[in-house]
Each structure stands twice: as C-alpha cells, then as structure tokens.
A and B are shown apart, each in its own frame.
Chain A
Amino acid sequence: MQLLDIRNLTIELRTSDTVIRAVDRVSLSLKEGEVHALVGESGSGKSLIAKAIVGVLNKRWHITADRMHWRGVDLMRLSNEQRRKIVGQDIAMIYQDPSRCLDPTAKIFDQIAETLPAIQSKGFFLKRNRQRKDRVKALIHKVGIKDHEKVLTSYPHELSEGVCQKVMIAMAIARTPKLLIADEPTTALESTTRAQVFRLLKSLNQLKNMSILMISHELEEIVNWSHGMHVLYCGQMVEAGPTAKIFSQPRHPYTQALLKSLPDYEQGLAHKEPFYALKGTIPTLQHLPIGCRLGPRCPQAQKACVVTPALTKHHGHSYACHFPLIKAMK
C-alpha cells in the first residue's frame, strides 16, 4: 500500500499584486519501507513540500492538492486536530536549521523528554522518572553523542551546530515514526559523523521498516541507498523515478547537469579540469520564466519550451521535457 500519495501539490504565496507559485503541481508517492530523495537547488521548494506534508506552513502560503493521502486518509480534508494527531504519531521531521529550531529557553534533556511517548513508562513516579532519563540517555547515545551528561544539561546556544543537529535527529527518531522527513540532516556535520548518521538512518530503515524522505543537495550521499529520486527545479518536478535508472540514463537536461557536476561520478575528468555547468543562474521566484522554468538556461531549448511540458511516464521513470535526452551518457 502507498504510505504517502501526493498528486498535483501546488503551493502559492499571494502577495498584494501577484501570486508567486513556489511549488508547481508536484506529484510524489512513497511506499512503506522505501527511501526517497528529493533533490534540487536551494529555492526549488524542497523544504516547502516537506513542511506542507507535516502541515507546519503558516497561513500566508496557500496549499492546494488534488490529493494528499497518508495511508488512505486524505490529510487535506481533516480538521487541524485530527491531522495533528496523525502527523504527530506517524511522521517526524528533522528540520534544516537545528540551532534555530530548538527551544532556546529549555535544556536539551527537557526537550528530548517531551518527545518521548507517554504510554511506555510504568510504575511509580520515581521509577518513571528514572525510566525517562534512561530512555533519553539511550537515544542520545544512539545518535553518537558520548558526553551525555554535559549535553543534556546545556542549552542549545552552548552546543555546536553539529551536536544540535544530532539532538534534532534523536528527537525525530524518539517515537520510531513510520515516515521520517529529513531536511538536509547532515549539512553541519563532518564526514565521519555524517557517515555515522547515515548508517543509523539506514539501520532504522531496514530494521524498523521506517520510510525516509531525504531532502538534500548532495547527490553523492544519497545515491547508494535511496530507492527513488525526485529532481526539482524552481518548484517544478523535472524528473522522478528509481535512483539507479536516473543515474544510468537521465532524461532531463537539468538532471544531466546535476550528475555531471559531481567530481567523481565521471571517471574521465582530469585533475583540475573544469566541470560541466549550465550557464546562468537560478531565477528568483519573482521573475520565473513561463513554460519550462529551465528554458533560458537549457542547452537544447527550442520554441516549444514556452509551454510547460507534461510529465511523461515510461517504466516508472517520469520526466517533464519536450526534448528528452535519448542517448546514454558517455
């Protein structure tokens, strides 16, 4: 069964004179136990989609969707309380900016203890307290913090960005959610801890059958263990499908550019040789081009590109381009 099924999600920001469409008809579906990656540059609406799923966008954003089903229940039609109950139980999110998303006025211990499910502790209140402490300690060890005494008694501003990020991860996995949305979970971490965090997420995925929606712009990290990949550009879904298929044969020029900009993906690149890069810069949301939003930067743009291309589906691999790349990459 589909765990999460989103069809034509559109997120708009209404200003006094215009409507800015930050996410334009994005479809996404996720099966139980799968790891999906959402890839795109900053400003392409990755975080907006994640926040729309969890329902934490504020009222200025106008969200419409043909359907947004969570295990058969349409989230869009639920009341706020019902929705919060479902989301709070089954979905957890690791936010992008850890030191800013933690409560600055509470100690780390209290913040983690708050996320623990209440039913599990039994016994008298002293015993319950001890159980709670042990659970928090175990969680924090799980994410690779050794010095628990010091970290648990400090406030977020006293900790480094990397430790804050680990605390966020610990809070997210405290309830063993069915779906974990990780919004750039490893940006502030160095390579050794990054590998450790990925190992943890991987083991949670395999042992607890937890689905993960990874949001990242580091392709190298997610290639090896994600089942599916969605590539976004300026709020439009340009390509989606199984990761291996996209990597072996990208159909959209933007995906190809992304893959070619990886230093060690293509073996033939000599030392200090320039990378392949698209010309120009990402347009700002106020000045989006009509039609295909990659149009002005695309190497093979033609006249037809002023009309938004429809999503073409072919063996589970979908792409939105009038002139898809057919030749295999060398």
Chain B
Amino acid sequence: MQPLLKVQALSKSFNLRSGLFSRKRFEVLKDISFCLSQGETLAIIGETGSGKSTLAKLLAGADSADTGQILLDGNIIEDKGIRDQQCRHIRMIFQDSEASLNPGLTIGDMLDDCLQYNTSLDKQTRGEKITATLSKVGLLNDHQHYYPHMFSGGQLQRVALARALILDPKVVVLDEALSSLDPSVRAQTVNLLLKLQQDTGLSYILITHHLSLVRHISDQLVVLDHGEIVEYGKTEDIFQDPQSNVTQKLLSC
C-alpha cells in the first residue's frame, strides 16, 4: 500500500551566536525519514531537546526544513524548505489549548476564519461545515457563539480538535496535546480521537512523554535522540525488545 505521508531525509539546523561575530551551526534534526499509512498512528518519543517539537513544526508547516522532502499521497508538498502553499492537509494541535485560542473571537468566528482563508466556500456552506465539525467532536451547534473562556479544559481540547478537523486534513499532529489533561478528560479525548480514526481514516502523529498511552494508541514508534532517529519500527516490537541504549533507558522507567 502506498504510504500516506512520507518524509525523506529531513534535516534542520539553527544558527546560534557563539561570539561577537562568529556563529555556530546547531543541527536540530539530521536525516529524518519515515512513512505513515492512512488510519495509522505514529508516536515520537525522546528526551527534551531531542527535536520532537521541531519535527512537529516542520510537518505542520510552521517552520521550513533545510533539506529533505515531505510527500503526501505521492505529491511533494515540501522540497528543500519550499512549501507548497497548503496547510490544510496536515494540521496541528498544541499543548496548551487555552493559550492557543484567540480569547477575543467566538468559536464560530475562529472556525469561519480557517475556512475563509483556506477554501472558496460561500457563507452558507461554511456555516453548515462548522455545524458538522462541531457535532463531530461532540460539541453543540450553540457552542459557536461561545468565547474560549466559557469552556472547561476538556471542551477546549475539543474546540482545538474542531479547528484542526474543519479543513478535512489527512494527518493531525498532536504536540503534547494530551499530556496536560486530567486522566478522565484524557480518556474522553483519546476515545474521541480513536473513534475519528476509525470512522474517517485519519492519521495521527503523537508526540508525548506518556509511554503507556503511546503503547495503547500508536502503531509505529520513532525514538529521537539529539536529532537522529535511533529506533523506528512497530510500537509493540520496540516495547517488547528495545535495541538501542536510549530506548532502553526511556522505557525502563
């Protein structure tokens, strides 16, 4: 089967100031490649500073890579840092849903903005689309007149998910989106994510510290260490028999 998302030899480096005029190159990601099929979940684990969040930003298009390609459905969407002008197929959910939503916009306006900037739908279809998306994530139609402060933490996570889903993406990147939630809310959110995956064949890229959650919902696992992939394979295999030192250390505690 043709993989949905294919990442080839992606690398990224930053320039850091080391002296008055001298600069040091700091390689955050080196030669990252992996594949993701439709309806699958890929988890990325690693220590802090190993480049997980940078990788998430590159995938979602919030930052551009130095070299390497990202292919979606066989089409190149990013090649050596030049991004195809489309952010609708890969969407991202951030860690702090409260801080990532605009407090001055109602939920309806915010979702409408996403559609206005990215599609050419007319006003009525946009309204229908918003209603459909809200009901998909388990919110009511009336919620579109609410402001973010009127929601609880679990509901805000649903709103963030609605914002990601409204453009019918193929891949959703969850950057620590589940780690700040309370256990029962997290259970609800995970259930919702799993249900959406079953119904629509959505793929997830999950970045988290929470290992039991990784084991439960992911199919493939990438272990990052200092910007390099040290282990990549089926989640269950890696959990059963970790090969590299880094993975063993991460999994042992």
Contact = CB atoms under 8 A, between A and B. Distances in A.
Interface size class on chain A is 20 to 34
A160 interface: yes
Given A191-B253, A278-B184, A262 B191 contact: no
Interface residues of B, number: 31
A194 B182 contact: no
Interface string B170-199: 000000000010111111101100110100
Interface string B214-230: 01110000000000000
Interface string A121-162: 000000000000000000000000000000000000000101
A44 to B, nearest CB: 9
A271 to B, nearest CB: 7
B186 A261 contact: yes
A269 B216 contact: yes
A190 B48 contact: yes
B25 interface: no
A258 B183 contact: yes
A261 B183 contact: yes
A263 interface: yes
B47 A192 contact: yes
Name the prevailing secondary structure of the B interface residues.
helix
A165 to B, nearest CB: 11
A281 B154 contact: yes
Interface in B130-171: 152-155
B177 to A, nearest CB: 15
A311 to B, nearest CB: 22
Given A41-B184, A160-B48, A274-B195, A263 B216 contact: yes
Contacts of A330: none
A120 interface: no
Contacts of A272: 194, 197, 216-217
B209 A190 contact: yes
Contacts of A274: 190-191, 194-195
A257 interface: yes
Nearest to B246: A192
Contacts of A258: 183-184
Interface in A37-75: 41-43
B121 interface: no
B215 A264 contact: yes
Contact of B253 (A192, A218, A260, A284): A192
Interface in A175-232: 187, 190-192, 194-195, 217-220
Contacts of A13: none
Interface in A260-300: 260-264, 269, 271-272, 274-278, 281-282, 284
Nearest to B153: A42
A278 B155 CA distance: 14
Interface in B211-253: 211-213, 215-217, 236, 249-250, 253
Given A190-B47, A191-B211, A271-B216, A261 B253 contact: no
B47 A219 contact: no
A218 B213 CA distance: 12
Given A220-B212, A264-B212, 8 more contacts: A258-B183, A260-B187, A261-B183, A271-B216, A274-B195, A281-B154, A282-B154, A282-B185
Interface of A: 41-43, 160, 162, 187, 190-192, 194-195, 217-220, 257-258, 260-264, 269, 271-272, 274-278, 281-282, 284
10 contacts: A162-B48, A187-B180, A192-B47, A194-B209, A194-B253, A264-B215, A272-B217, A274-B195, A275-B191, A281-B185
Interface of B: 47-49, 152-155, 180, 182-188, 190-191, 194-195, 197, 209, 211-213, 215-217, 236, 249-250, 253
